[in-house]
Chains A and B, each alone.
Chain A
């Protein structure tokens, strides 16, 4: 995979928590400039400010919707339960790249901003996130 140098994309980061979970969750950078075909690292962080362990599970969204198919996460913290002990704060990395095929898609010609949005929910024991296409 080769980077497509001429096509800089601004990736911005959004963080949400569902009202059910008392974590503080935020991105560690508001934006990062990437090119398709080159892997990139970014960080969120989460803190459990309570006196009880809390297990969270997150899902993500990509805006614009049509850009999501080109957004490839190599590794992140999503879809699996993450447990934070009382007062614990952790870094949460996302390692990703934008597929070079992005630049071949005429629908993406005017897209120079992609927003990655993660939302954390409180996980109940044995809960599985029901996501289309993910068992």
Chain B
């Protein structure tokens, strides 16, 4: 139910997604990554925060197969996971 009084400066209109539409994964190239992510969701009681590694892995799979425009993972909200990864990386000789 909406009223005529709307003091909020924002109003809802259906908006297209920021980065556009995902191409369809017709060949299921990233299905395994999706399955791992869904398994994590089920095991964690559907807590999104618990499954971000696997969400990131899924999106990386898409990017590697041109099923998603390449975007630095830090810009997709995974900065903390990337920082962890690089801190844990041992020095390569």
Q: A residues touching B (Cβ–Cβ < 8 Å)?
A: 1, 3, 28-29, 31-35, 38-41, 43, 59-62, 65-66, 68-69, 72-80, 82-85, 88, 90-93, 95, 97, 105, 107, 131-134
Contact = CB atoms under 8 A, between A and B. Distances in A.
B18 interface: yes
Given A69-B11, A73-B18, A134-B15, A35 B25 contact: no
Interface string B28-63: 101100100110010001111101100100110000
Contact of A134 (B2, B11, B13): B13
Nearest to A30: B46
A31 B58 CA distance: 19
B22 A77 contact: yes
Contacts of B58: 41, 93
B19 interface: yes
Contacts of B24: 77, 82-84, 90, 92
B77 interface: yes
B contact residues, range: 35 or more
A33 B92 CA distance: 39
B17 A79 contact: yes
Contacts of B12: 62, 65-66, 68-69
B76 interface: yes
B24 to A, nearest CB: 5
